[in-house]
Amino acid sequence: MRKLLVVVAAAALALTACGSEDAGGGGKATITFWDNNGGPGRTPIYEELIKRFESTNPDVHVEYVGIPSASVQQKYDTAIAGGETPDVGGVTTSYLSNLVGQDALLPLDDRITGGPLKDKLLPSLVETVRQTSPDGKLYSVPTSGNMDLIWYRTDLFQAAGVEPPKTWDEFVNAATKLTDAGANKYGYTIRGGAGSVFQLITEAYSYSGVDNFFKDGKSTLNDKANAELVDKVADLYKKATPEADVNNSYTQMVAQFTGGSVAMMHHNLGSSGDVTKAFADKVAAIPLPVGPNGKRTVVPNPTDGFAVFKNSKNPDAAWKFAEFLASSESNSYWNEKVGQIPANTDVRSAAWIDTNKPVKMALGVLEDPDTVIVPAPVYLPQYSSITKTDSEPQYQKVLLGELSAQQFLDDVAKKLTEAQKEWEDRK
């Protein structure tokens, strides 16, 4: 059965990859849309949005193809190589530059500024998209953002008489006070395994307040203040965290937290469903704490959006659909369902924003003019390998006391500097 499903899926991709004038749309302009995170949770949302779009645009038929997020980048690369791209595709800034580098996408600046989306997109999300392209153009219309935060158990904090931490020193004190190792109770759970270093980077810059990932072409990751934060987190390991945390992936970390023995966890809005299901109103979220200078510094998560592929036979219809998905009504519907930050600023007044406290809090941080946004260089082709394959085992050595935080960051910063130089040379 599994082999059969793979064959059927491959056939569907081959048949629906490239937009056509009539591919079952009854003479209508037909466009193909690839959902970059297809599955039971999100596919029905798109099915509803497509139904709404087609009802108001009877001259356009949308073919939906859901692609699992784990394989979507490879699918895009294969489609580009074969000239079989979709008309519209969901993308994130983590691989947008790869698509731009293959000359696969249309720039959308003029379409955005010349239509109803002009001045309606959250500037911080627009900037994260613009940064990914060597020419500074927008090759994706941003629709959703995410932000790292601290989930905490309100009941445990109240019982211990501890206030939610606003600074990293308060965070360390809270984690220590809420720990009773003999009773298997811990103040914090660390992500020490897969995906750990990106989270660590967001913590480091939130503490140091360093306002740029590169200065004079060199990575600032090994700034001494960033190393101070890594030391603070490593010092908590096994003292205020479970010993098993050194191997925690996302799934294991969330299991630690939702199991009820941990008071705080660092993740993002994406774990909202898991934590609220486990604790209902006994869990809340706060921004990552600030460092000694009191400056709110945020390293944003990759931004989600929609791109129009250059190979589209119906680029105007493709843009019309992408523009519809970014409209206030669609953007509100989508982000309310998935619990993320809407890019369309008109959604700020939607009723659901007031009831979704984590999203409202995250929006407030991003809209605050005093917040400093430090986009990570996800546009670098080597960024993923540097921060995952190369760095995660080394971070585990830091947690185990086998490598100093400064040495660890020096090594990562050197690789990022080299990757940035290569990027600049290609530009």
pLDDT at position 19: 45
pLDDT above 70 as % of the chain? 94
Lowest mean pLDDT among 20-24, 66-70, 368-372, 379-383: 20-24
The yes-or-no verdict on residue 409 having pLDDT over 50 is yes
Do residues 104 and 36 lie in contact, with contact meaning Cβ atoms separated by under 8 Å? no
Do residues 143 and 306 lie in contact, with contact meaning Cβ atoms separated by under 8 Å? yes
Average pLDDT of every residue of the chain:
93
The β-bridge relationship of strands 283-287 and 141-145 is unpaired
Q: Rounded distance, CA 43 to CA 66, Å?
A: 7
Q: Rounded distance, CA 243 to CA 102, Å?
A: 44
Tell me what the mean pLDDT of segment 169-174 comes to: 98
**Residue 359's pLDDT band (cuts 50, 70, 90):** very high
Helix (H) or strand (E) holding 413: helix 405-426
Q: Rounded distance, CA 208 to CA 223, Å?
A: 8
pLDDT at position 26: 56
pLDDT above 90 as % of the chain? 88
Measured between its terminal Cα atoms, the distance across the chain in Å is: 47
CA Rg value for the chain = 22
Instruction: Name the token pair of 423.
Output: 């990027």
The yes-or-no verdict on residue 20 having pLDDT over 70 is no
In whole angstroms, how far apart are CA 208 and each of 226, 281, 291, 363?
Answer: 6, 32, 6, 22
CA atoms within 13 A on the CB side of 58: 0
Tell me what the mean pLDDT of segment 343-365 comes to: 96
pLDDT at position 381: 86
The yes-or-no verdict on residue 21 having pLDDT over 90 is no
pLDDT at position 74: 95
Instruction: Name the token pair of 59.
Output: 């001259």
**Per-residue pLDDT reduced to its tens digit, 286-306:** 999 999 999 999 999 999 999
**Per-residue pLDDT reduced to its tens digit, 69-88:** 989 999 999 999 999 999 99
Complete DSSP assignment for 144-184 = EE--EEEEEEHHHHHHHT-PPPSBHHHHHHHHHHT-BGGGT
pLDDT at position 342: 97
The yes-or-no verdict on residue 25 having pLDDT over 50 is no
Give the Cα-Cα-Cα angle 241, 401, 210 (nearest 5 degrees).
80
The yes-or-no verdict on residue 11 having pLDDT over 60 is no
Q: Rounded distance, CA 151 to CA 288, Å?
A: 10
User: Strand 283-287's sheet: what is its strand order?
Assistant: 264-268, 148-153, 283-287
Of 343, 333, 331, 421, the residue nearest 377 (C-alpha): 421
pLDDT at position 116: 97
Strands, E, within 360-424: which ranges?
A: 372-373
Do residues 56 and 348 lie in contact, with contact meaning Cβ atoms separated by under 8 Å? no
Residues counted in the chain: 427
Give the Cα-Cα-Cα angle 121, 353, 207 (nearest 5 degrees).
75
Q: Rounded distance, CA 406 to CA 398, Å?
A: 10
The yes-or-no verdict on residue 5 having pLDDT over 60 is no
Complete DSSP assignment for 306-368 = EEEBTT-S-HHHHHHHHHHHHSHHHHHHHHHHHT-EESBGGGGG-HHHHH-HHHHHHHHHHH-
Q: Rounded distance, CA 279 to CA 157, Å?
A: 14
pLDDT at position 132: 87
In whole angstroms, how far apart are CA 16 and each of 48, 218, 226, 304?
Answer: 19, 44, 48, 23
Which residues on neighbouring strands pair with residue 306, listed in sequence order?
90, 141
CA dihedral 79, 85, 86, 88 (to 10 degrees): 110
Q: Rounded distance, CA 142 to CA 96, Å?
A: 11
**Residue 427's pLDDT band (cuts 50, 70, 90):** confident
Q: Rounded distance, CA 216 to CA 413, Å?
A: 13
Residues 6+ apart with CB under 8 A from 386: 380, 412, 415, 416, 419
**Per-residue pLDDT reduced to its tens digit, 308-341:** 999 999 999 999 999 999 999 999 999 999 999 9
Give the Cα-Cα-Cα angle 317, 333, 74 (nearest 5 degrees).
60
pLDDT at position 18: 47
